[in-house]
Amino acid sequence: MDRRQRRRFGGRGMALLAALGVWLAALATGDGALAVTGGSAPADASYGYVVKVNVGGNRGCTGVKLAEQLVATSKECFQAGSTAPVNGPPTLASTVTTRPDQGSAVQTVAVDHLFVRDDRNLVVAHLAGRLLGLRGDAPVASAAPAAGQTLRVLGFGRTATEWVPDLPHTGQFSVQDVSATGIGLAPAAADGAVCKGDAGGPVIRENGDGTANLVAVVSTSWQGGCFDATGTRRDATATRVDGLAEWVNQFKEIVLTGVVQAGTESGCLVMTVGADTYNLVGGDAAVVKAGATVHVTGYRAPVATGTCTQGTRFKITSADTVLTLFGTVQKGLENCLTLTSGDVTYHLFGGDRSVVKVGARLTITGYTSTADFSLCGQGPNLNVLTAAAPKAVSLRAHANTKYVTADNAGASALVANRTAIGVWETFDEIDLGGGNIALQAHANNNYVTADNAGANPLIANRGAIGPWETFLLVPNADGSVSLKAGANGKYVSADNAGASPLIANRTAIGVWEEFDLINS
Amino acid sequence: MDPALRFRVPAVALAAAVVMGGVLTGSGSAYSANTAVAVEDPPPSIVEDFAYPQAAQILAQYTVKLISGDGGILFVDCATPPVGDIGLISVYTTAPIGADGLGRLCFKVTKASGHIELEVPAVYEIRGDGRKTGTGHKTTAIVRTDAGQLPPVTVDPSGSTQVGVGTSGPPATLLQLVVTP
């Protein structure tokens, strides 16, 4: 329908006087329930995902929950004087407040970061806390709106009689026109309008199966019939959100596990996970430090200007040091699974139960949790990230292309003098984390040690893993590996071109220090 | 200039002209003239600015300057009937303002908490909205004298609290009322 046809000519002055009269009447009775946005009652409590947004104490808008910590609203709401909002923490103290009828106390949560859409009147606000227990949801629509469609608008804005309602009101609107980033709306009912305070309110498509999708958020309105508004035009505009699910999803909380590295710029920390590099911001500095393997929870948080140029800025909300433990899974008290490493017995929490089971010898990576699991009181909780059994390997010396053997069933030192792989030439490679391994000889089930702090040749005669039994697995450019003994920091050599036993006494890698690591 | 303001000003001016002229039937042509421009322009902002609604009319009618608030405390007719034990917060001033020009202003608390910013000169007494002991909202008043802003005044929820000349002090201007749960 053409805008001209929608105009209502009559009653302009009448409306103004009536509005004043209603205001005074409302003041007299305290009754202000008539909704401007259509209907006479507040929106049903099932629209719990509609939230109130307050910026700096003097700007009020509506928002729509996209995730527990993400709310979409109008970018204009965060305008500070003539300064438009930019990516980063809001310049004005801002909060999001839930409806009072969601079964728990009203939740008011601070906004700690803004994701600003440059091409339209839209921001996604990240919250310092989670919005929990709100009823309903409206995932971002994939289908575009079309002229003539009927959509529902919800907002905490003024009604015909009420200035700052505690509950949102709602009405149906029809789509008048659609552009690349916006839509025009006209109320479906004669008393419908979008009013002050509705900015950022959701425009949803209600589907036949009872679900709803977020199509747009309200942008501007002529506010006809709104409390203390003087005009009569009731058409409004909204900012399209459909198709932006991917844009929104990148701001949701994710977890990363990896090694923290110093960035190019001073004071910057980065982590590379797969093909993505992140610039880590925040988190406990004692945990998140260069060289540490960490498990971090957080969100991508780009800022307009930053000193760290490497990777996507990632704001950490919680960080844990990743531990690597090796041992045998035991059945602990209360039938909980435990693993003892060093002096500490951990309660294993999570992980693949077909792998993490009683009796399994595993290298487990995980992080300790302070959460109280009442059923398993034994030891600190270890949240399992990965669990893997040792793998059987053989070593072939580049010195003479012969296999390393735990000669004489392990009674003699390791030497590279076999041409085929048998039991004596097979070792369990045990991942100790941080690139370190231990080798357990199949010949006698003992661990290989750089005996006498590396002064004596390697021999498989130890029952436990200590520094002498720890070797750093150093990858070489040609695909081979070298072993750097934890005992003395020297490389293991197939000495005398392999004729002598293996010994950790070289400070550089040459051919004698190269081995092919072959999975058996 | 705030883009929203750009559109708001003519609309208000137009409406005022129509009302003052009292020519309700004349609005059609004026409206057309207005929209002829507006068709290309986006509608005004709908961010709630918390400026007190109809402050200009209230100032003209009651000589009371209301500035802003959050809807939790509203300026009302003193004849508004009480609800149970809760009546109205009354502000008394020696200035000849208010509905009857006798210096009594009434405020109704409509939410569990709220605030209203205003400027009422020569306030000497504030009466809480509780109609009997133990009732009424917890109310705090901010007043200013020529010497500057005073510490917040805790208002007796169910009685009268003197301020300004009521305490034999200098004249006080009421700047804010705050209600907390």
Residue A321 is predicted with a pLDDT of 92
- Residue of A469 and B8 predicted with greater confidence: A469
Q: What is the mean pLDDT of residues A209-220?
A: 97
Instruction: Average the pLDDT over B145-151 and give the result.
Output: 90
Q: Tell me, what's the pLDDT at B6?
A: 37
- Between β-strands A261-262 and A458-462, what pairing exists: parallel, antiparallel or unpaired? unpaired
Which residues from A are below 8 Å from B73, CB to CB? Answer: none
Domain ranges of chain B: 3-38, 64-180
A27/B24 touch (CB, cutoff 8 Å), yes or no: no
Judged against a pLDDT cut of 70, whether residue A21 lies above it is answered with no
Query: Binning pLDDT at 50, 70 and 90, where does residue A2 land?
Result: very low
Residues of B within 8 A of A164 (CB-CB) are 48, 50, 70-72
The neighbouring-strand residues paired with A65 are: A71
List chain A residues with CB under 8 Å of B39.
3
pLDDT tens track for A112-128: 999 999 999 999 999 99
* pLDDT value at A233 more than 80: yes
Domains in chain A: boundaries = 1-249, 254-316, 323-388, 391-519
**Is A197 strand, coil or helix?**
coil
More confident residue, B74 or B26: B74
Report the first-to-last Cα separation within chain B, whole angstroms: 39
Q: Do domains A254-316 and A323-388 have the same CATH topology?
A: yes
At residue B64, φ and ψ (nearest 5 deg) are: -115, 125
Architecture of domain A323-388: Beta Barrel (2.40)
pLDDT band at A190 (very low <50, low <70, confident <90, very high): confident
More confident residue, B165 or B28: B165
Q: Is B54 on the interface with A (CB under 8 A)?
A: yes
**Residue B63 at interface with chain A, using a CB cutoff of 8 Å:** no
3-state SS assignment for residue A231: coil
Give residue-wise pLDDT tens across range A326-358: 999 998 877 788 998 878 888 888 888 899 999
In order, the DSSP letters of A34-99 are: --TTSSSSPPPTT-TTEEEEEETTTEEEEEEEEETTEEEE-GGGG-BTTBPP-SBS-SS-EEEE--
Tell whether the torsion through CA atoms of B135, B137, B138 and B142 is positive or negative: negative
pLDDT exceeds 50 at position A35: no
Q: Given B48, B70, B110, which is nearest A61 (Cβ)?
A: B48
In the predicted model, what is the mean pLDDT of residues A149-175? 93
Q: Domain A1-249 falls in which CATH fold?
A: Thrombin, subunit H (2.40.10)
Looking at residue B40, what is its pLDDT? 57
Q: Which of chain A's residues have a Cβ under 8 Å away from the Cβ of B22?
A: 13
Per-residue confidence at A13, pLDDT binned at 50, 70, 90? very low
pLDDT score of A370: 65
- CB of B13 within 8 Å of any CB in chain A? no
User: What percent of chain A clears pLDDT 90, i.e. is strictly above it?
Assistant: 78
The pLDDT assigned to A373 comes to 56
Nearest to A299 by CA among A251, A345, A334: A251
- List of chain B residues whose C-beta atoms are within 8 Å of the C-beta of residue A16: 15, 18-19
pLDDT of residue A371: 62
Alpha-carbon span A32 to A105, nearest angstrom: 23
B28 or A237: which leads in pLDDT: A237
Handedness of CA B15, B20, B21, B24 (dihedral sign): positive
Is A51 a residue whose pLDDT tops 60?
Answer: yes
Give me the mean pLDDT over the B131-135 stretch: 95
Interchain CB distance below 8 Å, B54 and A20: yes
- Out of B27, B47, B50, closest to residue A12 by CB: B27
Quick one: tokens of A127? Answer: 């919250």
Inter-chain touch A164–B18, beta carbons under 8 Å: no
Is the pLDDT reported for residue A369 higher than 50? Answer: yes
Pair type for strands B172-180 and B138-145: antiparallel
For domain A254-316, give the CATH number: 2.40.50
The nearest CA of chain A is from the CA of B159 a distance in Å of: 22
Reading the block at residue B124, the tokens are 């000497």
Helix (H, G, I), strand (E, B) or coil at A270: strand
Q: How far apart are CA A472 and CA A305, in angstroms?
A: 40
Q: Identify the residue among A2, A220, A221, A228 best suited for mutation to test binding to B, counting B beta carbons within 10 A and taking the highest.
A: A220
With CA atoms as reference, the chain B residue closest to A11 would be: B24
Let me know: does A517 contact A423? Beta carbons within 8 Å: no
- In this structure, which topology does domain B64-180 adopt according to CATH? Gamma-B Crystallin; domain 1 (2.60.20)
B110/A contact by beta carbon, under 8 A: yes
Q: Indicate if the pLDDT at residue B28 is higher than 70.
A: no
DSSP character at residue B119? E
Q: Which residues of A touch B53 (CB under 8 A)?
A: 23, 163, 227-228
For residue A42, name the pLDDT band (cuts at 50, 70, 90): confident
SS3 B24: helix
| pLDDT over 50 at B19, yes or no | no
Task: Give the residue-averaged pLDDT of A396-417.
Answer: 96
Are the C-beta atoms of A90 and A128 separated by less than 8 Å? no
Residue A225 contacts by C-beta under 8 Å, 6 or more apart in sequence? Answer: A15, A36, A160, A191, A193, A232, A234
Amino acid at B58: I
**pLDDT at residue A165 tops 60:** yes
- When mean pLDDT is compared over B16-20, B23-27, B91-95, the highest value belongs to B91-95
Most confident of A188-192, A346-350, A353-357, A493-497: A493-497
Query: What's residue A261's pLDDT?
Result: 95
Q: What's the CATH code, domain A391-519?
A: 2.80.10.50
Decide if pLDDT at B29 tops 80: no
Question: Looking at this predicted complex, what is its ipTM?
Answer: 0.76
- Categorise residue B43: left if φ over 0, alpha if ψ from -120 to 50, beta otherwise: beta
The DSSP H or E segment spanning B150 is none
DSSP string, A157-195: S--SS-SS-SS-EEEEEEEEEE-SSEEEEEESSTT----
Look over chain A and give the mean of its residue pLDDT values, rounded to a whole number. 89
Higher pLDDT, A42 or B85: B85
Q: Any bridge partners for residue A391, and if so which? A: A429
Higher-confidence position of B1 and A159: A159
